[in-house]
A and B are shown apart, each in its own frame.
Chain A
Amino acid sequence: MDRERRIYKKLFAVLSSLFFVVILAFFGVISFLDVDATVSESENRKLAEKPEFSFSALFGGTYTQDFENYYSDTFPMREEFMQLSNKITSFLTRFGGKEDNVIISYDKQDSDFVGEGVELTTEKSENENETENQETEKVTEKATKKPEKTTKKKTEDKGSVKGSILISGKRALEIFTGSASMSKSYASLVNKTASSMPGNVKFYNMLVPTAAEFYSGETYSSGVHSQKNIIKSSYSQMNKNIVTVDAYSRLEKETKEYIYFRTDHHWTARGAYLGYLAFCEASGNEPVPIDELETGKIKDFVGSLYNASNADVLKKNPDYVEYFKTRVDVDAQVYSDSRMQNGQKVFVVARAVNSDNKYLAFIGGDQPLERIVTSNKNGKKILVIKESYGNALVPFLCDNYEEVYVVDPRKTNFDLSSFVENQSIGEVLMINYAFAMSNETYKNALISMLK
């Protein structure tokens, strides 16, 4: 009996040992023989390509890293394993998850929430697909190249940003959580920025709520999640000479309109137009009527919130980008810093975007410094300090100013106040969405530009 037992024991040990090695080796061999997929449909992204070997890449450590990425991206039966993995994920982390009650944690660094590593080239191209043979303005993304050399810094700003996404129906919403210290620290940043400006400059601040405020239901928009309260409290702590712009009430009234994307964390141009109206009211500008602007749509936009959540429902119901061309003629140049040399042309509003991130249609995405010269001859100049939320609003401003300067503090570093003085800029608009209030990367970047 004992002998038999030992034999059985050994037999099973042999079986499991051989099985283990064979199955691993089998997958190993297959992975080199099978044809590599290049695109992952379910993840809405291009898969890694086989890296090219070089000794410098090898010793720099990038080759092996790239190779591992390539290997796991092209693993055999990848889609099947992904499906299983999604099942495990939803079992472990989606309990009680009816359609509108799932919170998915995400890593902003993974997606392009912060818009990094993107260089834009713009080209005027004849779009062959279009029957009208119309000249198309098109934005192309070159993801491989690093952004233009800005005056050092910015590379160390890899602070990762984490958060939670709520899937509600066909919409993804980034849940906002505020605190008293958040509104205070943002207000003091605005105060500091405003008081560093030359004395005669008019300073505006606009805080924009996100879609979660209007579409996530009572639970996720009241109490600590209320953006209304935090915007109000932050405004109340700002110096008297700062003009606060009430975009909130205008957005609140138009929530039936398409003012926010459902798959992306930005507002649409239509939403941004409401912000622009609020700004005009606060600054005494005459707003351009939206019906007078030439408009069009860029289809099939699946944005950052899909990339971060992988929720199927978003992929199946993509957004579109509605754009409004400027009424005046504009010429926009991108510069790496305040010396404004070697400018590169971008489109203030593009009719097509050759990238997954269609939000790049507006002012060419996040650029260090942009100078837009319009055909207006009123001598008015404005500087916009912004993160990506400002992008959709800037085109409307062109109608009221002769020159519009746009700076993204995360992308460049120079002395803001002397720039404003040297360019004799009369007005400064600092525009942020609610999440920027606690974005250390953005805030620190701006502080470093105040001398």
Chain B
Amino acid sequence: MVFSSLLFLCIFFPAVLILYHLCPFLKGKNAILLLASLVFYAWGEPKWIVVMLLTTFIDYLAGVVIGKAKSNGVRKLALALSVVVTLGFLVVFKYLNFFTANLNLILPFDIPETNLVLPIGISFYTFQALSYVIDVYRKDVDYQKNYFNLLLYVSMFPQLIAGPIVRYVDVANEIAFRKVHFTDFSDGITKFLIGLTKKAVFANFVGKLAENYLAGDMESLTLLGAWIGIVAYFFQIYFDFSGYSDMAIGIGRMLGFNFRENFNYPYVSLSITDFWRRWHMSLSSFFRDYVYIPLGGNRRFQLRNMFVVWLLTGFWHGASWNFVLWGLYYFVMLMLEKYVYGKALEKLPKIFRHIYSIFIVIIGWVFFYFEDMSSMGKMFGTMFGINDFALYSPADITTLTNNIFLLGICVIAVTPFMKNISSGVYRRLEKTPNGVIVNGVMTFAFQAAVLVLCAACLVGSTYNPFLYFRF
């Protein structure tokens, strides 16, 4: 089930909220949430839910052993075993097909392919489970004594299928004790609805525009068309992904959990280094804490460490060469910034730094979008005028004109502009005599209007993709 479906919105979600908040004690709430999460997952993945239960069980056992064992050898062994098994599931389900397919290209004989289908969200929950075991090993957090509590952490439905990757440390206390205030709940609604709007309105509309150009035949693509397409995709992926994260964080708030932000306006970055501090922060910090620093960080072999991290980051997004290319592209860009022109860049006026960052990111999405290398080549050829192409067609101009509002709103919505305005107004009003009431009414009106808007878009949409089935 995905958040942006009517079934989730009108059946599952209200049912869970009502049961959850009517239940007077925490154990009951946890049980309801766990059960709801398992139903949520099984709805989309009825078979492979077993993998999630098993992974969590193994990591639960490992946590107990590591937590109780006195000898360092035993602790290390338990950690190693659980990491191997947990990652093993990920490798088998996500990468085995890719490896065999590529080996079969080289080898004189054929290894039979397994054709396993990737279970939804496996990349997210595997990383959550891993972070738990490693944190217990590092003594950053106490081990969880109750399997079901750990399962609740791994499977909690808000972040289960599209992130953010929540750390056990961050929610361990809330699993044991939490309280939801109505103000939290209301803030959660706003956050959820902002996320839903990003997904159901912005991402879906602009995504259709992107598909119109990028998923069509590459031979009728003009230079302008190629750029419209990739810019539309640039917006789509941000609104879609950050929308999911916002919904997850919002639902978390409504249930009494405080997840960290996952996106911090990445498209206003001043450099690529800056971009990766703002984009999918839970993933980059995961790689920083569990790969980069253990490898030696910037103390030794920094270049190697960076290479490994970006290779893995790319590969994490999907078992396909284009994602590897995408990761390595960012490795190169980050190294260039670090060692070649980073200092010079900082001296430039801000506007150039924004343009530079956006340009590099847009080029990056070409690697990300085209899994098929020949289409990717054609796309680059058309974008930079190498192919036999037309500059633009009248139809492109009309399409651009028709979508000018959509694109304009997108430009505004990727910046903190709206947020700054609304929170500025909110704070000002709060100090005036009747401001609290005005604020309350406005918030309420905003929520109601946005809910109707999103519902209409969901009912009317023929295009509502789930982009993360490859993750």
The chain A residues found within 8 Å of chain B, CB to CB, are 5, 8-17, 19-21, 23-25, 27-28, 31, 58-59, 61, 64, 67-68, 71-72, 75, 78, 81-82, 84-86, 88-89, 91-97, 101-103, 105, 107, 110, 160-164, 166, 175-182, 185, 219-220, 223-225, 438-440
A85 and B189 form a contact (CB under 8 A): no
What is the CB-to-nearest-CB distance from A37 to chain B, in angstroms, rounded to a whole number? 13
Within the complex, the shortest CB–CB distance from A150 to chain B, in Å, comes to: 21
Closest 5 CB pairs of A and B: A85-B460, A12-B440, A105-B212, A81-B459, A84-B456
Q: Does the CB pair A20–B189 fall under 8 Å?
A: yes
CA distance A81 to B451 in the complex (A): 12
Most buried by A among B181, B208, B398: B398
B423 to chain A, nearest CB (A): 15
Query: Would you call B11 and A179 a contact (CB within 8 A)?
Result: no
Smallest distance from the beta carbon of A378 to chain B beta carbons, Å?
Answer: 40
Contact of B186 with A17 in the complex, beta carbons under 8 Å: yes
Q: When each residue 443-461 of chain B gets 1 if its CB lies under 8 Å from chain A and 0 otherwise, what string results?
A: 1100110011101111111
Q: Which residue of B lies closest to A97 (CB)?
A: B402
**Cβ 8 A contact of B436, one of A5, A21, A182:** A5
- Give Cα A355–Cα B56 distance, bound, in whole angstroms: 52
Complex contact A440–B393 (CB within 8 A): no
A208 CA to B460 CA, complexed, in Å? 35
A15 to chain B, nearest CB (A): 7
Does A9 lie within 8 Å of B185, measured CB to CB?
no
Known contacts A10-B182, A93-B205: does B7 contact A164 (CB below 8 Å)? no
Picked from B5, B189, B390, the residue with its CB within 8 Å of the CB of A16 is: B189
- In Å, the complex CA distance between A176 and B5 comes to 34
Q: How near does chain A come to B217, taking the closest CB pair, in angstroms?
A: 4
> Assuming A17-B189, A78-B459, A89-B460, what are 19 further A-B pairs, CB within 8 angstroms?
A12-B439, A12-B440, A16-B444, A21-B18, A31-B11, A58-B46, A71-B7, A88-B460, A93-B406, A94-B402, A95-B401, A103-B398, A176-B220, A182-B219, A185-B219, A220-B394, A224-B393, A438-B220, A439-B217
Residue on A nearest B43 in the bound complex, by CB: A64
Nearest residue in A to B387 (C-beta to C-beta)? Answer: A181
B54 within 8 A of A: no
Whether the pair B459, A162 counts as a contact (CB closer than 8 A) is no
Tally chain B residues at the interface, Cβ within 8 Å: 76
What separation, in Å, do the CA atoms of A92 and B216 have in the docked complex? 22
Is B58 at the interface (CB under 8 A from chain A)?
no
For A91, list chain B residues within 8 Å (CB).
Answer: 405
B373 beta carbon closer than 8 Å to chain A: no
Determine if B460 and A440 form an interchain contact, defined as CB atoms under 8 angstroms apart.
no
Q: In the complex, what residue of chain A is closest to B229 when comparing beta carbons?
A: A162
Residue B404 is within 8 A (CB to CB) of chain A in the complex? yes
Contact B453 A103 (CB under 8 A): no
The residue in chain A whose Cβ has the minimal distance to the Cβ of B212 is A105
For the complex, is B17 an interface residue (Cβ under 8 Å from A)? yes
Chain B residue nearest in CB terms to A67: B7
Interface residues in B390-443 (C-beta closer than 8 Å to A): 390, 393-395, 398-399, 401-406, 409, 430, 436-437, 439-441, 443
Closest to A110 in B: B462
Q: Determine whether the beta carbon of A12 is less than 8 Å from that of B394.
A: no
In the complex, what distance in Å separates the CA atom of A85 from the CA atom of B430?
Answer: 35
B402–A102 touching, CB < 8 Å: yes
Residues of B within 8 A of A9 (CB): 183, 436, 440
Which residues of chain B are within 8 angstroms of A25 by Cβ–Cβ distance? 10, 14-15, 18
- What's the dominant secondary structure at chain A's contact region? helix
CB of B250, distance to nearest CB on chain A (Å):
11
Complex: A86 Cα to B211 Cα, angstroms: 20
Would A182 and B9 count as touching, CB distance under 8 A?
no
How long is the Cα–Cα vector from A17 to B444 in the complex, in angstroms? 9
Can you name the residue of chain A whose Cβ is closest to the Cβ of B445? A16
B468 / chain A contacts, CB cutoff of 8 Å = none
Within 8 A of A (CB), among B206-231: 208-209, 211-213, 215-217, 219-222, 225
In the assembled complex, the Cα of A72 lies from the Cα of B444 at a distance in Å of: 26
Interchain CB contact under 8 A, B215 and A160: yes
The answer, among B181, B225, B402, for a CB contact under 8 Å with A93, is B402
Q: A28-B14, A71-B6, A105-B209 are in contact. Are A88 and B402 (CB under 8 A)?
A: no
Q: Is the CB of B395 within 8 A of A175?
A: yes
Check if B437 sits within 8 Å of A8, measured CB to CB.
Answer: yes
Given known pairs A13-B182, A24-B13, the reply for A181 and B388 (CB within 8 Å) is yes
Residues of A contacting B461 with CB < 8 Å?
85
Nearest A residue (CB) for B394: A219
Q: Is the CB of A223 within 8 A of B440?
A: no
The contact sample of 20 A-B pairs, CB cut-off 8 A, is: A5-B436, A9-B440, A14-B182, A16-B443, A17-B186, A20-B447, A24-B10, A24-B14, A25-B14, A64-B46, A84-B456, A88-B456, A92-B205, A96-B398, A103-B399, A107-B462, A182-B219, A182-B220, A185-B219, A224-B393
Q: How far is the CA of A220 from the CA of B404 in the complex (A)?
A: 20
Whether the Cβ atoms of B398 and A92 lie closer than 8 Å is no
Closest chain-B Cβ to A144's Cβ sits at a distance in Å of 21
Q: A179 touching B388 by the CB < 8 A rule?
A: yes
Question: Does any Cβ of A come within 8 Å of B385's Cβ?
Answer: no
Q: How far is the CB of A427 from chain B (nearest CB, A)?
A: 29
Decide if B459 touches A72 in the complex (CB within 8 Å): yes
Q: A58-B46, A223-B394 are in contact. Are A86 and B14 (CB under 8 A)?
A: no
Whether the Cβ atoms of A8 and B401 lie closer than 8 Å is: no
Q: Which residue of A lies closest to B460 (CB)?
A: A85
Known contacts: A21-B18, A94-B402, A438-B219. The answer to whether A179 contacts B460 by CB under 8 A is: no
Determine how close the nearest CB of chain A comes to the CB of B171; give it in whole angstroms: 22
Q: Tell me if B9 and A24 are in contact (CB < 8 A).
A: yes
Chain A residue with the shortest CB-CB distance to B44: A64
Interface status of B47 (Cβ within 8 A of chain A): yes
Distance in angstroms between the alpha carbons of A11 and B209 in the assembled complex: 43
Q: Is B463 on the interface with A (CB-CB < 8 A)?
A: yes
A33 CB to nearest B CB, Å = 13
Contacting pair A107 B394 (CB below 8 A) = no
